[in-house]
Amino acid sequence: MAINKSKVAVGFIVVGVLTVFFGTLLTFVGPLIIDDQVVKNTVIDPKNEMSYTMWRDVPVPFFMSVYFFHVLNPKEILAGEKPMVEQRGPYVYRKRIQKDNITFHPNSTVSYKEYRSYYFEPSMSVGNESDVLTIPNMLVLGAAVMLESLSVPVRMIISMAFKTFDEGPFLTKTVGELMWGYDSKLVNFLNKYLPGMLPSSGKFGLFSEFNNSDTGLFTIHTGKDDIRNVHKVVSWNGLTELSYWRTPQCNMINGTAGQMWPPFMTEESTLPFYSPDACRSLELVYQRSGKMKGIPLYRFVAPKTLFANGTDYSPNEGFCPCRQSGLLNVSSCRQNSPVFISHPHFFNADPVLLDYVHGLSPNEEDHGLFIDIHPLTGVPLNVSIRLQLNLYMKRVRGITETGKISEVVMPMLWFEERGYIDGPILNTFHTNLVVLPAVMEYMQYGMIALGLATIIIAAFVRYRFKRQVEIDTFSSTVFENGRHKCGGGATSKGEASASAGEKDPLLQDDVD
């Protein structure tokens, strides 16, 4: 029986060694298996159902919140006083994004157009689209700056045209009209006799060109040939570089289309992407790590140099003519209209901009933009892109609508586009990319621990069995030897006594 138990113990030791071996092997092979699965599932391919659906339809909730700067003192502004504004909103719109005209190419690229549409969400808004607001009239004040180089008589004629079409320096319209367009006699006249002068051919609205439109024809890498290039833009509307800016570096189309990024990010990674709305490539930098509902993430934010002018940050010289740091001049891609983009409330901008306008109070929590990325896959978990639209306005001689307006970069509105993974998508994401890798990690260390425990216990049991056998064998030998020795001694004594009794006369006499 002891020999059988010893063999069983040896068998367990062998099993333990094999368990430790496979557990150790799994610590090296496991990450490779996970990385291989990440590569397979992040390639843009219709066979990758989950990731392809996320890329094509963006099924997570996405919203655009718009905040208007309602002008409180339009008459005083025309008299040269400092503008006073009051933030109104948010007016929230559900954004639907869907890719169409998807065409895969043999060189591991795919082309598509992305269509977007907006639907007002009253329950999420502070106010309604029927709210009436006052903001600067871009058609008048913007045109005045654009036409400043013309002769005074020509400017006077333009001023008369404004009066003819009932266009004043400020607009008082509903939110819906300001967003999606309103009827304007001047706009109708310009579209009829000077087509192409305005960005839209229909009603004039600040977001009229956004709704039910596409962002252009993108061609991006699928990642089939090199996963490090997945989602990176090859061309936009057939262009591999832009022509809006003054230097080749500023005209480069860098990074992705702004929805996903290549996997396997580190803290040294950045998030470059091309934005057709900003007419340039942008790049975010790592700020910190964190978690969202158990999923690890890296937060990327805009560096202070993003909208810095050429004086403060020389690589941005190509985006000039510049004004103060914190303003991006997008006039070159907006029909030369004096429009500037910034962070909301001039966050991270030259403080002097705040001195020109009453009613602004920037802070990072409310006005900084960020993207939270799952570093292993490059999939955004939580996104908040916040930008402000500003109009440069000033007094222009000959155009009486400008009155005595002081030179100022006037905030008109800011908007936030935000979205986050939630619901079934989040659960699937959490299971595949958090739970399963964790189970594999626990399994590998569990196998090593179990194998070592099995080896130790089996070795101890075998040692005890072996020791017990030795003790039993020794005891048996001693017992047998002792028994033989004790039996031979008694016989000799009896014989000796009997012999002595025969020879002793006294004993014999007593017996008699």
Establish if 354 belongs to a structural domain: yes
Supply the pLDDT for residue 211.
Answer: 84
Residue 178 lies in a domain: yes
d(CA 265, CA 374): 8
Q: Confirm whether 156 is domain-assigned.
A: yes
pLDDT at site 479: 66
Q: Is 166 exposed, middle or buried (0-12, 13-18, 19+ CB in 10 A)?
A: exposed
Judge whether 492 lies within some domain. Answer: no
Residue 300 placed within a domain: yes
Strand locations in 55-139, DSSP E?
Answer: 62-71, 85-105, 109-120, 132-136
Written as six digits, the tokens of 491 are 């016989």
User: What is the residue range of 317's domain?
Assistant: 61-421
Q: Scan for tokens 């706009």, then name that residue.
A: 187
The tokens of 404 are what?
């005595």
Query: What pLDDT does 485 receive?
Result: 62
Alpha helices in 291-404 (DSSP H): 352-355, 364-367
131 assigned to some structural domain: yes
Question: What are the CB-based long-range contacts (under 8 Å, 24+) for 191-200?
Answer: 197/335, 198/335, 199/334, 199/335
Q: Phi/psi of residue 55, each to 5°?
A: -75, -40
Q: Establish if 409 belongs to a structural domain.
A: yes
Q: What is the pLDDT of residue 91?
A: 98
H-type alpha helices, 356-435: 364-367, 423-430
d(CA 182, CA 175): 10
Pairing state of beta strands 132-136 and 109-120? Answer: unpaired
DSSP element (H, E) containing 42:
helix 2-42
Task: Report the C-alpha gap between 405 and 104 in whole angstroms.
Answer: 54
Sign of the dihedral through C-alpha 223, 228, 233, 238:
negative
Whether the ω angle into residue 296 lies within 30 degrees of 0, i.e. cis, is: no
Per DSSP, 407 falls in state P
Each of the 512 residues of the chain gets a pLDDT tens digit; together they read 445 666 776 777 777 677 777 667 666 666 777 777 788 888 999 888 777 887 887 767 889 999 999 999 999 999 999 999 999 999 999 999 889 999 999 999 999 999 999 999 999 999 999 999 999 999 899 889 988 888 999 889 889 988 988 889 999 999 999 999 888 888 777 767 566 555 555 678 888 888 888 899 999 999 999 999 999 999 999 999 999 999 999 999 999 999 899 999 999 999 999 999 889 999 999 999 999 888 889 999 999 999 999 899 999 999 988 899 999 999 888 878 899 999 999 999 999 999 999 999 999 999 999 999 999 888 899 999 999 999 999 999 999 999 999 999 999 999 999 998 877 777 777 777 667 777 776 777 777 777 778 777 777 776 776 777 667 676 777 666 666 665 555 444 444 444 444 444 444 444 44
CA distance 174 to 70: 11
- Give the pLDDT score at 512: 41
The one-character DSSP state at 142 is: I
Q: Total structural domains in the chain?
A: 1
In a domain, 493, yes or no: no
